[in-house]
A and B are shown apart, each in its own frame.
Chain A
Amino acid sequence: MVYDVLIIGGGVIGCTIARELSRYAITTALIEKEGEVGFGTSKANSGIIHGGHHGPPETLKGQLEWEGNQQWDTLCDELGFGFKRIGELTVAMAEDQLPTLEKLQDYGNRKGVPGLELWDRDRIQAEEPHISQEAIAALYAPTTGVINPYEACFGLAKNAALNGVEIKCDRPVTGIRQEGETWIVETPQETFQGRFILNAAGLYADKIAEMAGVRTFRIRPRKGEEYLLDKRLQGFIKRVIFPCPTAVSKGILVIPTYDGTLMVGPTAEYVDSKEDLTTTAAGGQNVFSHVTQVVPGISARDCIAEFAGLRAVTDSEDFIIGPTAKPGFINVAGIQSPGLTAAPAIATLLVDILGDEGLSLNPKDDFIPTIPKPIHFASLSTEEQIKLADQDPSYGRIVCRCEFISEGEIRDAIRRGARTLDGIKFRTRAGMGRCQGGFCTGRCMELIRDELGIPLTAITKRGGDSWVARPRHEEVSQSC
């Protein structure tokens, strides 16, 4: 079959586009190399929906940031992933940083971002008492939010699939060619044909463009290390805290994640390899030394997990969105920060571009905008908990004690598609808490075994060669 659109890349950009296209009477497939959507760059994203005022209104980035920001409330309502507008503070520690705050406020005002306020020291101390007394002023933006980026990917992909998009994971693209007006995309498992290719391949967007013969840019990965802190610090900082940005980076942040833990980071460092997801001793020192200047009460001793992600940065530092010299091949590349924020706006922009390129887009009558929301047992009321556990006792049984995740939620996650320990972790948070799976890994493995009917030794952390345990040696059976 010839699809109307093939999306290469199942990160948050590919998933948002897939979901947006599923509103129309066209055929679409999303092709992802990892075992699940969102398992690449999106998984390690900081999860911030930026306030809308960071980029200059003249740039594509600046416009899409604010447009995208405004669309997340609806997406969250429809798809049921975690999103909260908690606000942010950009903090100035010295007089010479004040013009930066004014510039950001001006960007915001020109774009119509509401509620921006300049706070003085007293206001900062009143609202965020754990910020350093050295902070002299801050720009407050109430429009900033936090989400779970991987949950967003799962929700978007699930809804796109419900509306007819084919989601094809474990399909690394090995070749792209054109036959007449049809694009052929090869993967080891199968070959796809399509009229349009949307290149949303993140770090590998340059390789995909090269395969199509239209490589005009290069992706240089820029690594960010992030450090997750113990839930003990929940509420210690209520808003996303930015230092004053510099030319190269928004700096090292304190992020109260959607789930209540604090995360600190990211670093920003160019690396050679697109697979370099290492954390480093220097990165950790860098993060904690910067963060403790702004929030002195945070300590590296509170760290429970560390990880690194790569930003897909192009030479031009701007998004590359649009048609190429080859008709039907459209780039959605170089989507670094604030790419997550801008994603919904990028998706609607792509609909316009596809229309301009000759794809007829008729809205479907039977588009279903919502998916059932997963149950989060711990956040239900006592009455709801009593009722649910009566109906299904597995909801009364706690598996992950750090994050209060019940067996029912884990079974549901497996039924919704989790195949790996990470698949469970990113859907339910089991294993994401302070013990990092020390208690629940064994139990989660038994649940995967029971639900999928596979041996414990076939279970992986995240697919590929990430096996978790092997069988014991054969018993010596010879009689002596």
Chain B
Amino acid sequence: MLITNPKHLKPDYDVVVVGGGPAGMGAAIGAKESGAERVLVVDREKEAGGVLLQCIHPGFGLHHFKEELTGPEYAQRYLEQVLDQDIDLATDSYVLDLDRDNRVKLMSGQAGVNVLSSKAVVLAMGARERTRGAIRTPGTRVSGVLTAGLAQRFVNMMGLLPGNRAVILGSGDIGLIMARRLTLEGVEVVGVYEIMPHANGLNRNIVQCLHDFDIPLHLSTTVVDIHGGDRLEAVTVAPVDGFTPDMSRSQRIPCDTLLLSIGLIPDNELARQLNLRFDPVTSGPLVASTMETSKDGVFACGNTVHIHDLVDFVSQESELAGRNAGLYARGQQPPPDNIRLIPGENVAYCVPQTISSDRDHTVYMRVRQPMENCLLRLGDVYEKKIRFVLPAEMVNIKVRPKFLQQFHGDSLRVDIAPQQ
């Protein structure tokens, strides 16, 4: 059962979690584990589970559940825990507003509009896909240009196909998965075009979704024009030098469908409404090692904070956020962080942005460039060899208090550099 009845809402909660995807459910379970009594998860869809429900392919849960699951299976495991632990779940519901005192204005298709109070809030709203506008692809505004995630919804949940002959722009994971999915459904997939000189999806997806199906991946190539009147008729692709297309080598490719898999952006309308401090690189709120944002009692986790490539890491991070939200609700917050992490060589960002020298942490980061045989260095207190890093694959490192015994500064630089 993926639905509960929001008519039994309580007027006040210890922790309200906004979003019922893996991050939200993980956070709710974490909150409950840390002793919060009244926990509510809010999800806008009729069923909780978030984007996992449309991800019917396998590959989820290898780290977290130590076995390979599909998206809906992964969601189901979590949902059973949520329901077992007596967590309230309001589906078909939407948080319209959060005020200064963490009062939550909740709209629901079943229970109308309610205002609930909460001691702590966890933001777990996930992400949205970047659109054509974000990369300003020129051409006509035709039907048939859609994000890979919407195409996935069409195919896996609505029993529809987005078209007959598809070009995929961007090598993000959803696009790669959809290249395979559409091929299996009999849609001709002409190729995947990626403006960067390296792929932006997991290596395993390049192999399993493109190589295994003979779908070509064209690196350093992008779509420079979109043709058609009502419906897409063709795209023009061209190789790029940096970001400048070489039109002399452009090519017109007839197709009626263009899938965009050009990246995700954290969804944080509520975080903006609350005027949280943001990290300009992640586009998500700044978080401490407890996953608390710049506002007391407001925590965040999952793709709302930064884009993850594996749901397993979302789960880890979210349970941490939930535990700390639960502790906050009980007035048991750990002391504040004392070390700021500074992204250095080939490190685009670190999450959390600050840590404490007296606890264990997992720090997640993304690199800017692919690199082989590299060294991950934390200031001069710790280093670790890594065989290779890719921008598409998140790097994580356990930071233990023992590394920091000799360290007395307040900021620690993180570098990923070639081994000498």
Complex: A249 Cα to B256 Cα, angstroms: 37
* Residue among B129, B134, B161 with most chain A CB within 10 A: B134
Complex: A397 Cα to B45 Cα, angstroms: 9
Which B residues, 149 to 163, have Cβ-Cβ distances below 8 Å to chain A? 149-150, 153-155, 157-163
- Is A228 within 8 A of B113, CB to CB? no
Which B residues, 262 to 285, have Cβ-Cβ distances below 8 Å to chain A? 267, 269, 272
- Interface: A97 (CB within 8 A): no
Given A396-B107, A398-B107, A439 contacting B128 (CB threshold 8 A): yes
Nearest to A277 among chain B residues (CB) is B140
- Is B139 within 8 A of A393, CB to CB? no
Segment among B194-202, B223-231, B323-331, B336-344 that sits at the interface with chain A: B223-231
Which A residues, 303 to 325, have Cβ-Cβ distances below 8 Å to chain B? 303-307
CB distance from A442 to the nearest CB of B (A): 5
Which B residues, 94 to 128, have Cβ-Cβ distances below 8 Å to chain A? 94, 96, 105, 107-113, 115, 128
Given A305-B131, A438-B129, A464 contacting B138 (CB threshold 8 A): no
Segment among A55-63, A166-174, A191-199, A453-461 that sits at the interface with chain B: A453-461
- Is B136 within 8 A of A396, CB to CB? no
Contacts of B229 in A (CB 8 A): 275, 464-465
- Is B112 within 8 A of A393, CB to CB? yes
Nearest to B149 among chain A residues (CB) is A438
Nearest to A436 among chain B residues (CB) is B131
Nearest to A437 among chain B residues (CB) is B150
Given A390-B112, A393-B112, A467-B143, A281 contacting B224 (CB threshold 8 A): yes
CB distance from A465 to the nearest CB of B (A): 4
- Is A467 within 8 A of B231, CB to CB? yes
CB distance from A73 to the nearest CB of B (A): 30
- Is A396 within 8 A of B160, CB to CB? no
Q: Give the total number of A-B pairs whose CB atoms are below 8 A apart.
A: 156
Contacts of A307 in B (CB 8 A): 141
- Is B113 within 8 A of A385, CB to CB? yes
Complex: A389 Cα to B134 Cα, angstroms: 35
Complex: A279 Cα to B132 Cα, angstroms: 12
- Interface: B386 (CB within 8 A): no
Contacts of B185 in A (CB 8 A): 472-473
Which A residues, 268 to 319, have Cβ-Cβ distances below 8 Å to chain B? 275, 277-281, 283-284, 300-301, 303-307
Q: Beta-carbon contacts of A376-396 to B below 8 Å, as 1s and 0s?
A: 001000100110011001101
Contacts of A437 in B (CB 8 A): 146, 150
Nearest to A281 among chain B residues (CB) is B138
Which B residues, 232 to 286, have Cβ-Cβ distances below 8 Å to chain A? 267, 269, 272
- Interface: B11 (CB within 8 A): no
- Interface: A462 (CB within 8 A): yes
- Interface: A121 (CB within 8 A): no
Interface of A is mostly: mixed
- Is A470 within 8 A of B109, CB to CB? no
- Interface: A67 (CB within 8 A): no
Contacts of B139 in A (CB 8 A): 278-279
- Is A397 within 8 A of B164, CB to CB? no
- Is A470 within 8 A of B164, CB to CB? yes
Contacts of B149 in A (CB 8 A): 438
- Is B132 within 8 A of A472, CB to CB? no
- Is B112 within 8 A of A472, CB to CB? no
In the complex, which of the residues A283, A397, A469, A473 contacts B154, with contact meaning CB atoms closer than 8 Å? Answer: A469
* Residue among B111, B138, B139 with most chain A CB within 10 A: B138
- Interface: A232 (CB within 8 A): yes
Contacts of B190 in A (CB 8 A): none
- Is B133 within 8 A of A304, CB to CB? yes
Given A280-B138, A284-B138, A461 contacting B230 (CB threshold 8 A): yes
- Is A466 within 8 A of B131, CB to CB? no
Complex: A439 Cα to B50 Cα, angstroms: 11
- Interface: A227 (CB within 8 A): yes
In the complex, which of the residues A304, A389, A396, A445 contacts B131, with contact meaning CB atoms closer than 8 Å? Answer: A304
Complex: A469 Cα to B224 Cα, angstroms: 24
Nearest to B233 among chain A residues (CB) is A465
Nearest to B135 among chain A residues (CB) is A303
- Is A278 within 8 A of B109, CB to CB? no
Contacts of B132 in A (CB 8 A): 305-306, 436
Contacts of B230 in A (CB 8 A): 460-466
Count of interface residues, chain B, beta-carbon cutoff 8 Å: 52
In the complex, which of the residues A303, A445, A465 contacts B133, with contact meaning CB atoms closer than 8 Å? Answer: A303
Contacts of B164 in A (CB 8 A): 470
- Is B111 within 8 A of A469, CB to CB? no
Nearest to A446 among chain B residues (CB) is B158
- Interface: B303 (CB within 8 A): no
- Is A303 within 8 A of B134, CB to CB? yes
Nearest to A228 among chain B residues (CB) is B133
- Interface: A401 (CB within 8 A): yes
In the complex, which of the residues A232, A407, A461, A464 contacts B109, with contact meaning CB atoms closer than 8 Å? Answer: A407
Complex: A385 Cα to B224 Cα, angstroms: 45
Nearest to B97 among chain A residues (CB) is A382
Contacts of A280 in B (CB 8 A): 138
Nearest to A288 among chain B residues (CB) is B136
- Interface: B92 (CB within 8 A): yes
- Is A397 within 8 A of B107, CB to CB? yes
Q: Beta-carbon contacts of B169-188 to A below 8 Å, as 1s and 0s?
A: 00000000000000001100
- Is A469 within 8 A of B161, CB to CB? yes
Which A residues, 173 to 199, have Cβ-Cβ distances below 8 Å to chain B? none
Complex: A227 Cα to B283 Cα, angstroms: 21
- Interface: A471 (CB within 8 A): yes
Complex: A472 Cα to B134 Cα, angstroms: 30
- Interface: A132 (CB within 8 A): no
- Interface: B304 (CB within 8 A): no
- Interface: B147 (CB within 8 A): yes
- Interface: A435 (CB within 8 A): yes
Which A residues, 391 to 443, have Cβ-Cβ distances below 8 Å to chain B? 393-394, 396-398, 401-402, 404, 406-407, 434-439, 441-442
Contacts of A441 in B (CB 8 A): 146, 150
Taking Cβ atoms with an 8 Å cutoff, the residues of A that contact B are 227-228, 232, 275, 277-281, 283-284, 300-301, 303-307, 378, 382, 385-386, 389-390, 393-394, 396-398, 401-402, 404, 406-407, 434-439, 441-442, 445-446, 456-457, 460-473
Ordered by A's residue number, 15 sampled pairs between the chains whose C-beta atoms are within 8 Å are A278-B139, A279-B139, A306-B136, A386-B112, A402-B269, A406-B107, A437-B150, A438-B149, A460-B143, A460-B230, A465-B230, A469-B162, A470-B161, A470-B163, A472-B161
- Extra pairs beyond A389-B113, A457-B160, A470-B160 (15, CB < 8 Å): A278-B226, A281-B136, A284-B138, A303-B134, A304-B131, A305-B132, A306-B136, A396-B107, A397-B92, A404-B96, A406-B107, A456-B160, A465-B229, A470-B161, A471-B159
